[in-house]
Protein backbone atom coordinates (compact mmCIF):
# COMPACT_ATOMS: atom_id res chain seq x y z
CA UNK A 1 0.00 0.00 0.00
CA UNK A 2 1.33 3.44 -0.95
CA UNK A 3 1.12 6.22 1.63
CA UNK A 4 -1.34 8.79 0.17
CA UNK A 5 0.61 11.78 1.51
CA UNK A 6 3.82 10.51 -0.11
CA UNK A 7 2.02 9.87 -3.42
CA UNK A 8 0.34 13.29 -3.42
CA UNK A 9 3.63 15.04 -2.69
CA UNK A 10 5.39 13.28 -5.56
CA UNK A 11 2.49 13.70 -7.99
CA UNK A 12 2.44 17.45 -7.35
CA UNK A 13 6.11 17.61 -8.27
CA UNK A 14 5.36 16.35 -11.80
CA UNK A 15 2.76 18.94 -12.84
CA UNK A 16 2.87 20.78 -16.14
CA UNK A 17 3.01 24.55 -16.40
CA UNK A 18 -0.70 25.63 -16.63
CA UNK A 19 0.11 28.53 -18.98
CA UNK A 20 2.48 26.56 -21.24
CA UNK A 21 1.32 22.92 -20.84
CA UNK A 22 4.02 21.59 -23.16
CA UNK A 23 6.59 22.63 -20.51
CA UNK A 24 7.15 21.08 -17.09
CA UNK A 25 6.66 23.26 -14.04
CA UNK A 26 9.77 23.95 -11.98
CA UNK A 27 10.34 22.60 -8.47
CA UNK A 28 11.80 25.95 -7.39
CA UNK A 29 9.61 27.52 -4.67
CA UNK A 30 9.80 30.95 -6.29
CA UNK A 31 8.10 29.51 -9.41
CA UNK A 32 4.98 28.25 -7.66
CA UNK A 33 1.67 29.89 -6.77
CA UNK A 34 -1.34 28.66 -4.80
CA UNK A 35 -4.95 29.11 -5.82
CA UNK A 36 -7.62 27.70 -3.53
CA UNK A 37 -4.93 25.71 -1.73
CA UNK A 38 -3.72 23.98 -4.91
CA UNK A 39 -0.08 24.41 -5.90
CA UNK A 40 0.60 25.46 -9.49
CA UNK A 41 4.18 25.21 -10.78
CA UNK A 42 5.63 27.25 -13.62
CA UNK A 43 8.46 26.82 -16.08
CA UNK A 44 9.45 30.50 -16.01
CA UNK A 45 8.81 33.84 -14.32
CA UNK A 46 6.97 34.96 -17.46
CA UNK A 47 4.32 32.23 -17.20
CA UNK A 48 4.04 32.78 -13.43
CA UNK A 49 3.33 36.51 -13.99
CA UNK A 50 0.73 35.73 -16.67
CA UNK A 51 -1.00 33.29 -14.32
CA UNK A 52 -0.93 35.71 -11.37
CA UNK A 53 -2.51 38.47 -13.47
CA UNK A 54 -5.62 36.38 -14.23
CA UNK A 55 -5.59 33.10 -12.27
CA UNK A 56 -9.26 32.38 -13.07
CA UNK A 57 -8.35 32.16 -16.75
CA UNK A 58 -5.72 29.47 -16.16
CA UNK A 59 -6.56 27.46 -13.03
CA UNK A 60 -9.48 25.42 -14.39
CA UNK A 61 -11.98 23.64 -12.15
CA UNK A 62 -11.70 24.47 -8.43
CA UNK A 63 -13.49 23.33 -5.29
CA UNK A 64 -15.35 25.73 -3.00
CA UNK A 65 -13.53 25.47 0.36
CA UNK A 66 -16.78 25.84 2.34
CA UNK A 67 -19.33 23.72 0.44
CA UNK A 68 -16.91 21.37 -1.32
CA UNK A 69 -18.69 21.89 -4.65
CA UNK A 70 -16.61 22.06 -7.82
CA UNK A 71 -17.02 25.03 -10.14
CA UNK A 72 -15.30 26.86 -12.97
CA UNK A 73 -14.24 30.31 -11.67
CA UNK A 74 -14.73 33.49 -13.67
CA UNK A 75 -13.62 37.08 -13.14
CA UNK A 76 -16.97 37.61 -11.34
CA UNK A 77 -16.50 34.74 -8.86
CA UNK A 78 -16.16 35.74 -5.19
CA UNK A 79 -12.53 35.87 -4.13
CA UNK A 80 -10.59 36.22 -0.90
CA UNK A 81 -6.85 36.38 -0.39
CA UNK A 82 -5.59 34.14 2.40
CA UNK A 83 -2.15 32.98 3.51
CA UNK A 84 -0.36 31.70 0.42
CA UNK A 85 -2.75 32.85 -2.30
CA UNK A 86 -6.31 33.59 -3.43
CA UNK A 87 -9.36 31.45 -2.67
pTM above 0.75, yes or no: no
Query: Which pLDDT band, with edges at 50, 70 and 90, does 6 fall under?
Result: low
DSSP string, 22-82: TSBPP--GGGEEEETTEEEE-SSHHHHHHHHH-HHHHS-SEE-TTT--EE---TTS---EE
Question: What is the reported pLDDT for 44?
Answer: 96
- 11-47 pLDDT tens trace: 655 678 999 999 989 889 999 999 888 889 999 999 9
What are the boundaries of each domain within the chain? 4-79
Amino acid sequence: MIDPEWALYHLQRALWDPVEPRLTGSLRPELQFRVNGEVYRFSSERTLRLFMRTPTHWCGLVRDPVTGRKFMPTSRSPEAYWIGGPY
